[in-house]
Amino acid sequence: MNVMLYSMEIAMVLSGLGILMLDLGTPARGKRDLGYLAAFLMSLLLLQSVFMPEVQDGFSLLSSGHSITEGPGYKLDAFARYFKHLFLLAAILVLLMAVDFAGTLRARLAEFFALVLFALTGMSAAASATNFITLFVSIELITVSFYVLTSFQRGQMRSLEAGVKYLILGAAASAVLVYGIALVYGATGSMEFAALGKACPSAEHDHLLRLGLLLVIAGLGFKIAAFPFQIWVPDVYQGAPAPVTAFLAVGSKAAGFALLMRLCHHLRPDLRELTLTVLAALAGATILYGSLCALRQRNLKRLFGYAGIASAGYLLLGLLALNAQPGASPSGAQGCHAMMFYLAGYLIAVMAAFTVLCHLDGEDEDLSVLAGLHARSPLLATVLTLSVVSMAGLPPLMGFLGKFLLLQSAFEVLSPHPAQLWLMVVALGGVVISLYYYFGILRAIYWGGGISPGRPAGESEAITVPPLARLLLIACGLILLWVGIFPQALLEWLGDAVALFR
């Protein structure tokens, strides 16, 4: 049994616990440094994993020299490794954002950082899950840590309310998930995803399996905020503190999609037919719901919530490609390839946007908070513009390539059966509708709030951005622009990450 296989998760948990221990010793002033420490540890882990991958599978204690990447319910392949790096990057950005955001969190900073690390552990475990037990455990680890994180600002009613809502609905979803797992286990007799590939002995087994599968998809649907289960997103995004919302929007959604990808990969051809129709319906409805609701939205966080729902819809399009052809197929790989690229772009854009939000003083994040931002702080304005335009999917930024790849794989799947034309129309329409609210943000920055260009911006004071955050923002902006124009490096890296599906 190769212990090193789980070294990344172990490292994350140990550093979380370490932070908690250190918290006893550090004086009140030093609490922020814990955040920097946590971020530093995670970046160490990230660098190690990127540049020295053989540490994980190289010197396995008992095995005969060749690297074992398999464990019970756990698999560390290029696909999992890519997602782990995504989650590590997200966690680092959230930790640094939380340090600057510490002013509003006030008490118990160490617990905040520790919980972020625990949630990170859950996500990286989810990336490697190959059986339902690991799936359930990782999902629950993420959810429970987010219960606490969303309600972290005890003093404010909003945070508590968000926490409670997320708690009740999250618990209901996980109950549905467990029941689904039970039925699938009942039908296939084994917890492994691979078991889904075998044929069912009898008809009612098959019927049970279908019901179980639908319930599992429903449970995961809650995580990725797909249409019927996205009702919690706006309130929780608005109530939770900004770093948590960002982490929730990116981390838990990516974990949900990683699990769905692995799950769909193992499905039997007739099950694939079922999931194809289900996911097509979900995708169309999610895009429509997310785009339409955001049109009239004035609150920034809720706006990003609805935008997140819409992007979940687009990601589901990628998932369709996986289910179109039986077994491993080039178009399936292309679908996942597009999803993973889109997730990377989405992560950086959301993190940049929320970092900017943290630095905007303004209790209720209404659009008018952004008024005159171009004058008050050109850096924040430019980075927010870049992230919004990338989310809108306009060239030459990363988001455009993500959406382009998704549309390409969706078209690959849909062109043989013209009946699915409505989905293409909805997807294209969604992009156009989304421009309305994304450009509403641009309008708020550059000429919103009745600030005519002539009026000197001196009245509303300039925002000073701390040096580390400034560096972070510039880095995010540059990544969005650079990868948008020269994506070849990332595309190749994704190429072998998707080898599993080809």
For the segment 194-213, give every residue that binds another protein (CB under 8 A).
Answer: 207, 210-211
Does 345 bind another protein (CB under 8 A)? Our answer is no
Cβ burial 453-469 (10 Å sphere, 16+ → b, else e): eeeeeeeeeeeebeeeb
Tell me if 422 contacts another protein by CB under 8 A: no
Radius of gyration of the CA atoms of the chain, in A: 22
Mark the segment that binds another protein (CB under 8 A) among 24-32, 74-82, 421-429, 468-476: 421-429
Verify binding: residue 477, another protein, rule CB under 8 A. Answer: no
Q: CA 43, CA 434: separation in Å to the nearest integer?
A: 34
- 14 touches another protein by CB under 8 A: no
* 35-64 binders of another protein (CB under 8 A): none
* 408 binds another protein, rule: CB under 8 A: yes
Query: What distances in angstroms separate CA 281 from CA 182, 277, 293, 307, 338, one per listed residue?
Result: 25, 6, 18, 19, 20
Taking residue 415's Cβ as centre, other Cβ atoms within 10 Å add up to 11
Rule CB under 8 A: choose which of 269, 326, 395, 458 binds another protein: 395
Residue 95 or 276: the one with the smaller Cβ distance to another protein is 276
Q: What residues between 435 and 464 interact with another protein by CB under 8 A? A: 435-436, 439, 442-443, 446-447, 453-454
Contact 328/501 with Cβ under 8 angstroms?
yes
Stretch of 56-64, 120-128, 189-197, 360-368 lying at the interface with another protein (CB under 8 A): 189-197
* Sign of the dihedral defined by the CA atoms of residues 337, 343, 345, 348, in that order: negative
Q: How far is the CB of 92 from another protein (least distance, A)?
A: 25
H or E, element range at 70 = strand 70-71
Smallest distance, another protein to C-beta of residue 25, A: 25
Q: Name the DSSP letter for residue 248.
A: I
Which of these segments, 12-20, 33-41, 45-53, 169-177, binds another protein (CB under 8 A)? 169-177
- Contact positions with another protein (CB under 8 A) in 251-290: 274, 277-278, 281, 289
344 is a contact residue toward another protein (CB under 8 A): no
For another protein, the closer CB: 93 or 144? 144
What Cα–Cα distance (Å) separates residue 223 from each residue in 125, 143, 145, 305, 323?
Answer: 15, 9, 14, 13, 20
Nearer Cβ to another protein, position 184 or 258? 184
CB of 482 to another protein, least distance (A): 13
Q: In the bound complex, what is the minimum distance in angstroms from residue 30's beta carbon to another protein?
A: 26
The DSSP code for 295 is T
Of these, 433, 472, 480, 483, which contacts another protein (CB under 8 A)? 433
d(CA 132, CA 319): 19
Taking CB under 8 A as the criterion, the residue among 30, 53, 197, 396 binding another protein is 396
CA 100 distance to own-chain centroid:
22
Separation CA 295–CA 310 (nearest Å): 12
For another protein (CB under 8 A), the number of binding residues is: 104
Among 39, 76, 167, 373, binds another protein (CB under 8 A): 167
Q: Does 181 bind another protein (CB under 8 A)?
A: yes
| Only segment of 46-54, 89-97, 246-254, 424-432 that touches another protein (CB under 8 A) | 424-432
Residue 397: CB minimum distance to another protein, A: 10
303: left (phi over 0), alpha (psi -120 to 50) or beta: alpha
Under rule CB under 8 A, residue 106 binds another protein: no
Report the C-alpha gap between 99 and 93 in whole angstroms: 10
Note whether 287 and 310 are within 8 A (CB): yes
What amino acid occupies position 102? A
Distance CA 212, CA 328 (A): 23
Which of 35, 239, 243, 318 binds another protein (CB under 8 A)? It is 239
357-376 positions binding another protein, by CB under 8 A? 374
Q: Is 404 in the site for another protein (CB under 8 A)?
A: yes
Which member of 13, 102, 171, 360 binds another protein (CB under 8 A)?
171
Q: Is 283 strand, coil or helix?
A: helix
d(CA 205, CA 76): 32
Cβ atoms < 10 Å from Cβ of 389: 23
152 binds another protein (CB under 8 A): no
Task: Select 41 or 176, whichever has its Cβ closest to another protein.
Answer: 176
